[in-house]
Amino acid sequence: MKKKIYILSIFIALILIFGFIFFQNKEGAENTSIKNIERNQIDRNSPEQKKLQDDYQKQAKEILKPFFDNKTSKGIADELSSLIVPYEYRNVHLSLIMGFDKIERGSQLSNQAEIEEGIEAILDLMEKNPWLGK
């Protein structure tokens, strides 16, 4: 009987210790995440960000050339995925990838409506972001 109580008390002690360690680490992880976010705040007007934006515009425009010149979309979404995207262009970037993905998927499934949706999305992005254009 004493042996069962001894084992039970060790088991409870271990649960309490592991529980304490888990909650301490969880609070520490949350604090670390907040500190990392604060430390990694981006100065969107810095020269580095301006250069990143300019580079992104040039690279994206170059990647999009085959689409505008030859109406080919093959591999464009993959190429766009490899770019470093400035904060300001993240929505444009994702919309471009989704548009080209729709075109590719529509081509694979012979779904003209999906192809047209993708083309329409890209043309809409071009209208809102003239730097994407031909």
Question: 75 φ, ψ to 5°?
Answer: 80, -5
Average confidence score pLDDT of the chain:
81
The domain locations on the chain are: 1-41, 47-132
Farthest CA pair distance, the chain: 85
Measured CA to CA, the distance from residue 14 to residue 7 in angstroms comes to: 11
Summarised one tens digit per residue, pLDDT across range 44-94 is 677 888 899 999 999 999 998 988 888 888 888 889 999 999 988 999 999
